[in-house]
Structure 1
Amino acid sequence: MHEWSRRRAAKRVKPGTGRELKPFRWWQPFSRSLYSLVLGHDDGRQVVYTVDVPHRRRFWSNDGKGIADLYLDGRHQAESKLPAAFPIPGGTIEVAESPFGLKRCHYVTAGGDEHPLIPDHASAEGRRAHLARKHPALSRVISVTSIILLVISVLLLIPQLIEVAFKLPPVAARFGTFVSPVSLPAWLNSLIAIGAGLASIERALRLRHNRFLDTVG
């Protein structure tokens, strides 16, 4: 997050209510993201910052942007529309969303070092991280497969979408027509789109995001 974006995001932060953090429920794996950061003080005391993002609130908002809540030791400290930049001692917690989840939930120190927050073990992000620790080879296969699916979707779907766009009268009148070198049946296009969506969700679980691949997927 660039400095000007961070300052702009910091202006959106509102004070918290002090309410207690609700535990993660088994039915919330894809409707809620919960990340934590443990920070130590010079006196040996430790505090826990927790970022809670209920994704359903994005669909209820007028502008389509989600909201992140920041908790300190289990008590509501602040809230902000996304992208968010929560100032805390020693740095900033930055949170940003993608169409498929979160693409950023990092603690950025005053010196510029970045550290991803730790997902709750019961969340979808936490289960994906557990898989990466216990079965690293399988995790790498899944990661590579996600990239392959997204690349395939770009190579096969984008030319067809361009052809559809060039059929619009204003576009055709100005630029002429375009015939896609790729023509697939509707059922195959649907399968590719579904695969690309699942791949982008998998990458969001690992806070991975490519501006071109994941946006197209």
Structure 2
Amino acid sequence: MIKEWRRRRALQRVKPGDGRPLIRLRWWQLPFRALFHLRLTNDDGRPAVYAVDVRHWSNHASDNLKAHLYRDGRQHAISKLPAAFPVPGGTIEVRMSAFGLKRCHYVTAEGAEYQLDPDPHSAEGRRARLERGQPALSRTLGLLSLGVLLASLALLIPQSAEQLTKAEGIAHYTGTFISPIDLPRWGNTALGLATATASTERALRLRYSRLLDGGS
């Protein structure tokens, strides 16, 4: 019920596009632009190519998260994120985390879900090509990212518990917890960078966990 309510709200945010052409993805846009494609058949029986274009950093900088939907190379619709674009046979759902896209899927009217194909020139497309061409290396990178996030969580929980129980109102009832782990400032900085890198790698594969990756 809540999921359907969220989808209806997302559909209400969709605005018509102005027909501008889709700009080709450039190599220097790799860190902050995601581009995905989907081939469908329109209601009149003609094939159409849909594209979802999201600018990562510019979206976060303006605090105005938007996704652009193109049909056959022309802007068809635009929506704030999270977005749900109505297309033939279902909707295209787009959601973003602090590290990139966490969802870009075509959801049919029957409820089946299919991830859109990343543009081969995008960062997501290059990561997908690595997975196809070198699956062993791809799995190793995925496991490494997961391991970094699990280690980060294990280190963060006791330190956070210590800071929380230092408050007088809480310490009065629970006592003060002393963390067995006390990283120096540079250690916490290095851990933060490693965590951000791991979450970014997972975002390139549209993998997301609220517990591990955080963000929104």
Distance 2:65 2:183 in 1: 35
Distance 1:43 1:82 in 2: 29
2:18 corresponds to: 17
Q: How does 1:97-136 map to 2 (within 5 A)?
A: 97-136=96-135
Distance 1:188 1:104 in 2: 32
Shift of 1:192: 1.9
* Alignment partner of 1:145 is 2:144: yes
SS state at 1:27 partner: helix
2:34 corresponds to: 33
What one-letter code is carried by the residue in structure 1 that aligns with 2:71?
L
Is contact 1:57–1:67 with CA below 8 Å preserved after alignment? Answer: no
Root-mean-square deviation (Å) = 1.9
1:50 corresponds to: 51
TM-score (norm 1): 0.91
1:75 corresponds to: 74
Deviates more, 1:163-172 or 1:101-110: 163-172
Shift of 1:149: 0.4
What one-letter code is carried by the residue in structure 1 that aligns with 2:150?
V
Is contact 2:69–2:76 with CA below 8 Å preserved after alignment? Answer: yes
Shift of 1:25: 0.7
Deviates more, 1:19-28 or 1:187-196: 187-196
What one-letter code is carried by the residue in structure 1 that aligns with 2:105?
H
Q: Which runs of 4+ in 1 moved over 6 A?
A: none
Distance 2:80 2:32 in 1: 17
Deviations 1:108-148 (CA, angstroms, capped at 9, x unpaired)? 00111100001111111011000001000100000111110
Is contact 2:42–2:88 with CA below 8 Å preserved after alignment? Answer: no
Unaligned residue ranges in structure 2 (runs of 5+): none
33 and 39 in structure 1: CA distance in 2 versus 1, 3 angstrom threshold: same
Is contact 2:43–2:88 with CA below 8 Å preserved after alignment? Answer: no
Deviations 1:130-186 (CA, angstroms, capped at 9, x unpaired)? 000100010000011111000000001221123223334555456542211222222
Distance 2:135 2:101 in 1: 22
76 and 209 in structure 1: CA distance in 2 versus 1, 3 angstrom threshold: same
Deviates more, 1:29-38 or 1:156-165: 156-165
Is contact 1:157–1:189 with CA below 8 Å preserved after alignment? Answer: no
1:210 corresponds to: 209
What is the aligned residue count?
214
Deviations 1:49-93 (CA, angstroms, capped at 9, x unpaired)? 0000011332343xx351000000010111111000001110000
Unaligned residue ranges in structure 1 (runs of 5+): none
